[in-house]
Every structure is written in C-alpha cells, then in structure tokens.
Amino acid sequence: MSLLDDIQALRTAATEALGGINTADALEAWRIKYLGAKGMVKSTMQRLREAPREEKPALGQAANQLKIALTEAFEAQKDKLGAAGAKAKTSSVKLDVTLPGNRPRIGHSHIISQTVSEICEICARMGFEVAYGPEVEDEHHNFIALNIPDHHPARDPLDNFYLYPGAMLRSQTSTVQIRVMENTQPPVRIIAPGRVYRPDTVDATHSFMFHQVEGLYVDEGVTMSDLKTTLDQFCKAYFGPEVATRFRPSFFPFTEPSAEIDVLFHYDDGSTRWIELGGCGMVDPNVLRSVNYDPEKYTGFAFGLGIERMVMRRHNIPDIRYLFESDVRFLHQF
Ligand code: DAH
C-alpha cells in the first residue's frame, strides 16, 4: 500500500474511533494515539522522508490535511463532550476553568449581635431609643447613684472586677440609666444593651462576661401596669405570642417595689418550666433624686434582662460556653 493510501486509511480509522468516544479519558487516549508527540500522525509525517522526491509535495499536503482534519475533529468532539471532555488538553496549560472553585466561607454576625438587633427593633416599636454606656465604669454610676450603699454585698471585691481605685468593669447595664438621666430631662424611654462583667466561675450557665439589656421609662404617671404590659409584650414579641409571663416579688436597691420576670416554656416531653429572665421594678425615688429628678413629679420603671438566657431558651442551647468558644461549626447554624 502506498503512503497516500495509508494516510487515507489513518484518517478514516481515526475519525471513526473518535466518533464513538464519550468520556474525557478516552478522548485523551485518542489524542495521544493519533495527535501525540509519538502518535500516528507524527510517524506518518516521518515516513515522508523516505518517499520519492516527485511524490513529496502531494504527500506532504495530504499529511498536513490529515493533521488539520484530525485536530479539528478532536476539538469538535471535545466541545460535544462539554465539561466531561474538558480534561483532555489541547495545550500544555493544565488548567480546567470549568471545575467549581473553592468557595470562600461567608461570615455573618454572631447570634448575640443578631439578638441585640432584634431586641432593639422590638423595643423601638414600643417607643424606646437605644443608649450605650462605657464598660469601664466608676463606682458612682455602677453603685452609688443606683442606691447601692458602701456596705452592700454587691460591692464585694470578690464579686467585681475592680481595675484601679474608683474604676471597674461594669457589673450591670443599670449604669446607663444614670448616665442617660444625668443628660436628659423626662420623658426618658431607653433601652441599653451591652456587655457586663462578674468574676463568676465559668460553667454551663455562668460566664465572666455576658450581655444584658436594660430598660428605663421615666415620665409623669408611669405605673407598674405599664411595666408589666411592656415586658409581657416584649416577651411575646421575642419568644412568640403563646408564652406566658409572671412577675415574682423581689428586691433590688434601685427599684421599689421590685420583681423578677419569669417566662413559661413548654418542653418537647410535655413538661413546662418557669425560667427567670431578669429583674425589674419601679425606679426608687433615691435614684431619681441622684440625677436631680423630682420624685414627686416623676415616676418610672426599669428592667434588666439577660441576653444569653433569652438566646439559649429560644434556640435550645444547653451551655453558655458554646456562645463564646467561637467554634464556627456551632455559630454557623444561626
Ligand atoms: N441590674 C440587675 C442585675 O444585674 C438587673 C435589674 C434588676 C435591672 C431590676 C433593673 C431592675 O433595671 O429594675 O441583676
């Protein structure tokens, strides 16, 4: 058989073989067999050297056409296979732009921050503005103006993070009540979310740092029923309209009378339990006097709720440490 016949036969065989290919691996094997550096097209070209001089131009042309035709057929077949055929390479750059990339993990705000935003939104609907105060406080704002005298156990050095004489990490957000009233005249209607610090031993329900949201409403004629309605509505807005609330008599130096607010939760096993959310009460006249408000003219209510407690109840989180250990596998759920 002449070289020209061989070229034609090679073209027919290669084209037929190509038509039956439907995987990337088979396509690559085909490319190596026919178009590769040691492939059959190449070896056919090498045989041109042995051909008689007068036949060379025609044979050369036929060989070139063979190479072009097979290369084009290969590209066409690769396109037909789509992404599956993309593995077959046409150049030395081994880059597959059709493979999915490494998706960067998208961050989002911490569940505590999300909850603070939600609380602010609920309270804004009831007319409360948001106020902030410093986390490094003085004893006047953390204790004295709040009617907490020198001998009170809440001021024990073992129960507070004192920094240097006169300064401490605030142990409650009630400090912001004083700071706002010092700078505004009634009516005052604010909430103050933020971090507080106490040297508690860390366990499933305690942390040396946690979050509270403080509320304060002072005006003429504010009563305890305003307090109960506001907190009841707040709990229903956050936990759902079916939750019940109850107020238990309690004591805080800065409120009189004082109460603790509990929310009734229903568990999957059918049982129910009252969970304490925080304290509240009518602002003590001594507190109003400390900021030069006239207690004969103004009354007010205040409350302080634990944000971690609310988050843990609503999302069924059994251990407060999960919130602060920054394991993204946990935090990513929210
Ligand atoms: N500050 C109190 C605490 O940390 C909580 C609290 C109780 C705040 C009664 C209030 C209140 O505003 O009226 O335990």
In tens, the pLDDT along 114-152 reads 999 999 999 999 999 999 999 999 999 999 999 999 999
Phi first, then psi, for residue 197 (nearest 5°) are -135, 130
What pLDDT does 90 receive?
A: 56
Is the distance from CB of 178 to CB of 141 less than 8 angstroms? yes
What pLDDT does 251 receive?
A: 97
* Pairing status of strand 136-138 against strand 167-169: antiparallel
Q: Is the CB of 299 under 6 A from ligand 1?
A: no
Q: Is the CB of 280 under 6 A from ligand 1?
A: yes
Length of the chain in residues, anyone?
Answer: 334
**149 Cβ partners below 8 Å, 6+ apart?**
253
Is the distance from CB of 65 to CB of 9 less than 8 angstroms? no
Q: Is the CB of 174 under 6 A from ligand 1?
A: yes
**Best CA proximity match to 187, nearest among 147, 165, 218, 149:** 218
Q: Is the CB of 194 under 6 A from ligand 1?
A: no
Mutate to test the pocket of ligand 1, among 152, 174, 176, 188 (most ligand atoms within 8 A of CB): 174
Is the distance from CB of 290 to CB of 282 less than 8 angstroms? no
Q: Is the CB of 306 under 6 A from ligand 1?
A: no
What pLDDT does 83 receive?
A: 61
Query: What does R_g of the chain's alpha carbons equal in angstroms?
Result: 39
What pLDDT does 103 receive?
A: 87
Percentage of the chain exceeding pLDDT 70: 96
Whether the pLDDT of residue 82 is over 80: the answer is: no
User: Of 71-75, 90-94, 95-99, 271-275, which has the strongest mean pLDDT?
Assistant: 271-275
Cα 185–Cα 189–Cα 194 angle in degrees, nearest 5: 110
> 101: helix, coil or strand?
coil
Tell me the pLDDT tens digit for each residue of 235-285: 999 999 999 999 999 999 999 999 999 999 988 899 999 999 999 999 999
Whether the pLDDT of residue 293 is over 70: the answer is: yes
* Pairing status of strand 244-252 against strand 255-266: antiparallel
Distance 284 CA to ligand 1 centre (A): 12
What pLDDT does 47 receive?
A: 86
Percentage of the chain exceeding pLDDT 90: 68
pLDDT level of residue 84 (50, 70, 90 thresholds): low
Is the distance from CB of 293 to CB of 281 less than 8 angstroms? no
Q: Is the CB of 255 under 6 A from ligand 1?
A: yes
Is the distance from CB of 249 to CB of 257 less than 8 angstroms? yes
Extended strands (E) in 236-316: 244-252, 255-266, 272-283, 299-306
Phi first, then psi, for residue 302 (nearest 5°) are -140, 155
Distance 122 CA to ligand 1 centre (A): 20
Kindly report the average pLDDT of the chain as a whole number.
92
Q: Give the Cα separation of 296 and 220 in Å (integer).
A: 9
SS (H, E, C) 172-204: CCCHHHHHHHHHCCCCEEEEEEEEEECCCCCCC
Q: How far is CA 204 from the centre of its chain?
A: 22
What does pTM read for this prediction? Answer: 0.71
Whether the pLDDT of residue 224 is over 90: the answer is: yes
pLDDT level of residue 49 (50, 70, 90 thresholds): confident
Mean of pLDDT values over 83-104: 72
What pLDDT does 95 receive?
A: 84
More confident residue, 82 or 25: 25
Distance 135 CA to ligand 1 centre (A): 16
Whether the pLDDT of residue 85 is over 80: the answer is: no
Whether the pLDDT of residue 86 is over 80: the answer is: no
Distance 265 CA to ligand 1 centre (A): 22
Distance 280 CA to ligand 1 centre (A): 6
Place of tokens 């492939």: 39
Q: Is the CB of 217 under 6 A from ligand 1?
A: no
Q: Is the CB of 160 under 6 A from ligand 1?
A: no
Q: Is the CB of 143 under 6 A from ligand 1?
A: no
